[in-house]
Amino acid sequence: MSTEQIPALRLENIVKTFPGVRALDGVSFTVMPGEVHALMGENGAGKSTLMKVLGGIHQPNEGQIFIEEQPTVMNSPLDAKAKGVVFIHQELSLADELPVAENVYLGELPRKSFGRVDWSKLHADTDEILKRLNVGFGPKDLVGDLSIANKQMVEIARALTVDAKAVIFDEPTASLTDAEKSVLFEVIEDLKSRGVGIVYISHRMEEIFRISDRVSVLRDGQYRGTLETADTNEDEVTQLMIGRSLDLSRNVQHGELGAVALEVRNLSCGNLYQDISFQVREGEVVGFYGLVGAGRTEIAETLFGLRDPTAGTILLDGKETTIHSPIDAIGAGISLVPEDRKGQGLVLGMNCRDNMTLPQVDDMTAGPFVSDGAEVAIFDQYRDKLEIKTPGWKQLVGNLSGGNQQKIVIGKWLSMHPRVLIVDEPTRGIDVGSKSEIHKLIRELAGQGYAVIVISSEMPEVLHVSDRIIAMFHGRITRTFTSDEVTEDNLVQAISGITPEQGAA
Amino acid sequence: MQKSVLKNHAKEGAIWGFIVLELIFFGIAGEYMSMTETAFLAPDNMILLLKQSAPLGIIALGMTIVMINGNIDLSVGATFALCAIVMLDSMTWPILAPLGDWAIPFAWGLALLTGMLMGLINGLIVWKTGVDAFIVTLGAMLGFRGLVFMYNGEQPTFHLNWTMVDIAESAPLGIPLPILVFAVCIAVVWWIMNRTVHGRNAYAIGDNREAAVNAGIKVGPHMVWNYVLIGFLAALSSITFYSESGSVNPNDGMLYELWIITAVVLGGTKLTGGRGSIIATVGGILAIQLMRKGLGFIGADTAMVNLVIGSILIAVLYLDRQLNRKGEEELKI
Amino acid sequence: MADTTLKSVGGFLARQGILVAFAVFMIGFALANERFVDIDNILGVIRSSAILGVMALGVTFVVISGNLDLSVGSMMSFSTIVVLDLHDKIGPELAIPAMFGMTLALGALIGFLVGYLRLNSLIVTLGMLSAIHGLTLTYSGGKNMDIDDKQGTWFGFFGQDEVLGMPVPILIFVLLAAVLTMLLAKTPFGRKVYAVGGNGVAATFSGIPRARTVFFCYIISSFCVATAGLIQASRSLGSQNTVGQGLELEVLAAVILGGASLLGGSGTVIKTVIGVLILGFIQNGLLLIGLEFYFQYVVTWAIIILAVWLDIAVKRGHLWSPIA
């Protein structure tokens, strides 16, 4: 990077406030041409808001965006693209029923007379871009038939239709296999060599250190600094990311372990996961760690009766149990706090109390009617116990913060007094303060004798709350660690399939 | 990789397979059960069938466009009747009446303008208010019907112009005019949806509206154009039908929307938008029409036709769902 | 346009908008024609709205559960024809339960298809609209149905008689509305209906039997349809076999006017009753000021769109849709 180069993209002192929240508080950020600049931060640190400002979805309250040192206002995602800032989204925004070419040139189909599409130009141009990306599909293939990795390539191809100054990758590897990742990294290298500035948003340290030149860190909406990747290490970045406000030390408090509450023997479900066996004792927190798609959530869904296993047995308190529906699971004392809080955990248009008492509404009756008093009593009890901050039970749950929403879901199940509590991604999209509260809560629950399963994609979280950690890779358990023997290294290896079976792709 | 392409082709083919089955069934059953001397598959009978398919078919083309776009139009039956009234009545207006037969093109033009205006109203409301198309056009179904009644009360409107009847009953090259109109509409609408930027954008909008918005596609104007188009087609259908009969009742066209949606869904168009084929919709219309004629031919009454078509619609929905299942691994939600 | 003003004024209007519109219409009509507020007139309106109203009560459950029911019109024709036919064959005492049984069986079939098989309710009920119409025509042989001895039967009670000065159709409507309000607002079942319609996935993840809940919504709907058919048959003691044709969309209009969202999860029985009454009083008011019945179609069109638009505008804080 020579000093006389001008930055491809520069953000200066961006401030963005929402009612009651200062989502971005003076963020500055520079991307040079031909540089991969990683942007890191916890969920809720302000990355997505920053990207929305950059993409013209939000307008900043203060601050300025420069493209090649020209002050620029982004009016819309389209405007941003026209000005050379292109996004590769995490949630793919493709039309599945349409062929690749039409997706690549979505909104910009080449025209002939009478509003006709110029198909030959469309296919030729698309073909050229696809050749550059070296992909195994053609302009006429249907996007719906492509793998997720290939769909991402279509998104990238879209970026290449304009003279991009900067390309922003938002968690691009979230659902890619290792082989697919390598292809992606080659593409990024290619863009780099063409002098495009790359912003790379990811949670995964190993990727950041593999491909980035510099790392900038956001925390609580504030810019925390930029590090040269070559001169730093994971600890330093982590430190910047989480500061000292979040205690993510290794779990040391082991409660009294009771009898085996849940045992799973040789459980399989088609291609999703195979031959899963483990035990959870009363008072124990077992962490499931693995990449997205490793089969962790699917196991939870099976235990909760949302999937039928194709083989294997589930034992509760030593007795074999068949679970075909959530109702069976709840009856057997298994509860699930699902990973998608808004989609699966809550009815957002309902109030706090009704959400919390939903699974037991049949039991809260006086005569044929729901008993208001009994419901409010339950709500009050768990609001106090979990310190849920809400103006009152009539508040619609959609109006609460992520942390309080999650506590409503947890309260929903605790009020049912389950034997086994499964928590899938307990702190996804939750601010740092609430995170540690929820971690504390999980430990407390174990202390009270619940058998707890925690599924998480965040290693510090798994290390922090678990007594034992089960590592998964491609639908199989690769290794089980006690909290004494686990290290970050051997955990990463276990979830990458490196041990015990060397060389699994 | 080609799996779902094949599946889509299979689905599009299914409706034609079904039509062939119908033809075989009624062809054979007709031999034994028919009251008449002529065979079901006789060319005259088939041409009549095509001719009778045209009015619903022309509107169904428009419905396919609107549904591909991710919307729906429940008001087409009322638009159909309204356009007929405007066409027939306008020929008696002091301005047009003295023109004699030259009033016909003006009357047709006015009917087409009326249809497009009704579509424009629906489209603008859907676009500008953001109210769900189902609700907007449900309201319009009542509203437009109200306009129909307001025009001439509960009396039928009629105006017989023999020249117009002659045109409507003409058969250039031996093919009745309604069939030709239908065929031209199929070709033009197919061309719009498969060859023009507007058509392709309509697919994209129905498939993933957010992506279309982000890609800068002007979603609103596209939706409005599609409503104008279905209004135009409803008017055209009205013209082909009422030029011949010359008389319209204020209740005409009621429940047309339901028959049309049935045909479009039988043709495999997705209710949520993004997928649909003009040609398969034609198949859907023909399948329904064959069923109506065929059952009538072998002596079953309209009751049986309703029963059978309703059941087939549900069966098709069920089969489609079963085809798309993921098998034993599926999440049970 | 100041969005905050829109929000506060509009917020009030949206919450009470239907009542405000209702009040404005009532006052307007009352000023235009004093017969409008005559108690006999008011009872007459409610009485003639009762059939539509009873059907709308049931459809409210279906809509809140996130589904549609377009089959209620032809199902009502079916009930009416069946009960009239059986009246002469097995007597009214047996005809009524038999008709309810058959109508509930149709409701159960739809409930099974939509609830357990998870088929799209719009298409299923569209198909059933056609199929039930066919069933009715087959049953009646395409003929209209009449009770032979119209003087000698007590069957006219449900449609024609009065109890304590109140027409029986009104009593049935009020009673059913009261029971269903309690069911929807106060019982565990009602809570489940809202949960399933509000977020079916989350309801499943909370152990709510989604299929069964939807199934029973259709059972309730068909029960209401059977009741409406009973009133209809009893009122006229004879009927065409298309008596309910087109009612499905008017019923839906009333439910939407009452503020239920087609996406499910919102709406109440009381609001639906208000929606039904608005339609009924507008029709009556327009007739009283000398306009033909079909003017109500145009007015209803405007009201439905304005009501839903206002509701959406307040939620998004902008009058106009942000779509480009």
Q: Of the candidates B251, B276, B124, which has an alpha carbon nearest to the alpha carbon of residue B200?
A: B276
Among candidate residues A242, A273, A298, the one where a domain is terminated? A242
Asked if residue A371 has pLDDT above 70, the reply is yes
Range of the domain at A126: 3-242
Q: Of A20-24, A131-135, C165-169, which gets the smallest average pLDDT?
A: A20-24
Q: Could you tell me if A290 and A218 lie in one domain?
A: no
pLDDT for the residue C41 = 87
Q: Could you tell me if A191 and A317 lie in one domain?
A: no
For the segment C182-190, the average pLDDT, to the nearest whole number, is: 95
Q: Could you tell me if A284 and A422 lie in one domain?
A: yes
Q: Of A225-229, B3-7, B145-149, C181-185, which gets the smallest average pLDDT?
A: B3-7
Each residue's pLDDT tens digit, A164-197: 889 998 877 766 777 778 888 888 898 888 889 9
Contact across the interface for C295 and B131, Cβ inside 8 Å: no
Predicted model pTM: 0.87
pLDDT for the residue A431 = 67
Q: Please provide residue A20's backbone torsions phi and psi, each rounded to the nearest 5 degrees.
A: 85, -10
Q: Could you tell me if A231 and A264 lie in one domain?
A: no
Q: How many domains does chain A have?
A: 2
For the segment B169-185, the average pLDDT, to the nearest whole number, is: 92
Asked if residue C6 has pLDDT above 80, the reply is no
Each residue's pLDDT tens digit, C276-321: 998 888 888 888 888 888 888 898 888 888 888 887 887 787 888 8
In a domain, A310, yes or no: yes
Beta carbon pairs, B and C, within 8 Å: 173
Contact across the interface for B306 and C133, Cβ inside 8 Å: yes
Q: Looking at CA atoms only, how far is residue A218 from chain B in angstroms? A: 26
Each residue's pLDDT tens digit, A82-125: 888 888 876 668 898 999 999 999 988 999 988 999 999 999 99
Chain centroid to CA C177: how far?
A: 11
Q: Could you tell me if A341 and A235 lie in one domain?
A: no
The confidence band for A245, taking pLDDT boundaries of 50, 70 and 90, is: very low
Asked if residue A19 has pLDDT above 70, the reply is no
The chain-wide mean pLDDT, for chain C, equals 89
pLDDT for the residue A149 = 80
Q: Looking at CA atoms only, how far is residue C198 from chain A in angstroms? A: 6
Chain B, nearest residue to A77 by Cα: B214
Cβ distance B234 to B59 under 8 Å?
A: yes
pLDDT for the residue B154 = 86
List the single residue in B135, B139, B146 with the smallest CB-CB distance to C295.
Answer: B146
Percent of all residues in chain A with a pLDDT value above 90, rounded to a whole number: 37
Touching B (3+ Cβ pairs <8 A), the chains are A, C
Asked if residue B9 has pLDDT above 70, the reply is no
For the segment B38-60, the average pLDDT, to the nearest whole number, is: 90
What is the C-alpha separation between B282 and B264, in angstroms, rounded?
A: 8
The confidence band for A250, taking pLDDT boundaries of 50, 70 and 90, is: low
Percent of all residues in chain B with a pLDDT value above 90, rounded to a whole number: 50
Q: Could you tell me if A98 and A217 lie in one domain?
A: yes
Q: Could you tell me if A326 and A471 lie in one domain?
A: yes
Chain centroid to CA A225: how far?
A: 24
List the single residue in A325, A347, A370 with the smallest CB-CB distance to C188.
Answer: A370
Cβ distance C77 to C244 under 8 Å?
A: yes
Coil, helix or strand for B35?
A: coil
For the segment A8-27, the average pLDDT, to the nearest whole number, is: 83
Domain extent listing, chain C: 55-316
Q: Looking at CA atoms only, how far is residue C264 from chain A in angstroms? A: 10
The confidence band for C233, taking pLDDT boundaries of 50, 70 and 90, is: very high
Q: List the CATH number of the domain containing A141.
A: 3.40.50.300
Q: Could you tell me if A319 and A427 lie in one domain?
A: yes
Tokens 């031999």 locate to B31
Among candidate residues A242, A271, A306, the one where a domain is terminated? A242
pLDDT for the residue C20 = 76
Among candidate residues A209, A242, A275, the one where a domain is terminated? A242
Residues of C in contact with A346 (CB under 8 A): 199, 202
In a domain, A253, yes or no: no
Q: Could you tell me if A345 and A438 lie in one domain?
A: yes
Asked if residue A357 has pLDDT above 90, the reply is yes
Asked if residue B111 has pLDDT above 50, the reply is yes
Q: Does B196 touch chain A (CB under 8 A)?
A: yes
Q: Could you tell me if A437 and A311 lie in one domain?
A: yes
Q: Does B299 touch chain C (CB under 8 A)?
A: no
Asked if residue A419 has pLDDT above 70, the reply is yes
Coil, helix or strand for A129?
A: helix
The chain-wide mean pLDDT, for chain A, equals 86
Cβ distance A40 to A202 under 8 Å?
A: yes
pLDDT for the residue A3 = 52
Q: Please provide residue A426's backbone torsions phi and psi, each rounded to the nearest 5 degrees.
A: -65, -25
Each residue's pLDDT tens digit, C116-130: 999 999 889 989 998
Percent of all residues in chain A with a pLDDT value above 70, rounded to a whole number: 91
Contact across the interface for C253 and B142, Cβ inside 8 Å: yes
Q: Of B26-35, C256-265, C304-313, which gets the smallest average pLDDT?
A: B26-35
The confidence band for C13, taking pLDDT boundaries of 50, 70 and 90, is: low
Residue A374: C-alpha distances to residues A347, A416, C68, C168, C260 (Å):
20, 13, 34, 39, 28
Each residue's pLDDT tens digit, A256-308: 788 999 999 999 998 889 999 999 999 999 999 987 778 899 999 999 999 99
- HEC per residue, B166-227: HHHHCCHHHCCHHHHHHHHHHHHHHHHHHHEHHHHHHHHHHHCHHHHHHCCCCHHHHHHHHH
Percent of all residues in chain C with a pLDDT value above 90, rounded to a whole number: 52
Which of B75, B126, B127, B131 is the best substitution to test chain C (most C C-beta atoms within 10 A)?
B131
C14 or C98: whose pLDDT is higher? C98
The confidence band for B62, taking pLDDT boundaries of 50, 70 and 90, is: very high
Q: Which stretches does DSSP call E strand in B272-328? A: none
Token pair for residue B202?
């309509």
The confidence band for C3, taking pLDDT boundaries of 50, 70 and 90, is: very low
Asked if residue C180 has pLDDT above 60, the reply is yes
Q: Could you tell me if A428 and A470 lie in one domain?
A: yes
Each residue's pLDDT tens digit, B119-161: 999 999 999 999 999 989 989 998 999 999 998 888 898 888 8
Residue B320: C-alpha distances to residues A37, A301, C86 (Å):
47, 26, 39
Each residue's pLDDT tens digit, A31-61: 999 999 999 876 667 887 888 888 888 888 8
- HEC per residue, chain C: CCHHHHHHHHHHHHHHHHHHHHHHHHHHHHHHCHHHHCHHHHHHHHHHHHHHHHHHHHHHHHHHCCCCCCCHHHHHHHHHHHHHHHHHHHCHHHHHHHHHHHHHHHHHHHHHHHHHCCCCHHHHHHHHHHHHHHHHHHHHCCCCEECCCCCCCCCCHHHHCEECCEEHHHHHHHHHHHHHHHHHHHCHHHHHHHHHHHCHHHHHHCCCCHHHHHHHHHHHHHHHHHHHHHHHHHHHCEECCCCCCCHHHHHHHHHHHCCCCCCCCCCCHHHHHHHHHHHHHHHHHHHHCCCCCCHHHHHHHHHHHHHHHHHHHHHHCCCCCCCC
Tokens 């304590």 locate to C164
The confidence band for C22, taking pLDDT boundaries of 50, 70 and 90, is: confident
Chain centroid to CA A476: how far?
A: 21
Q: Could you tell me if A283 and A391 lie in one domain?
A: yes
Asked if residue A247 has pLDDT above 60, the reply is no
In a domain, A249, yes or no: no
Asked if residue C2 has pLDDT above 50, the reply is no
Asked if residue A413 has pLDDT above 90, the reply is yes
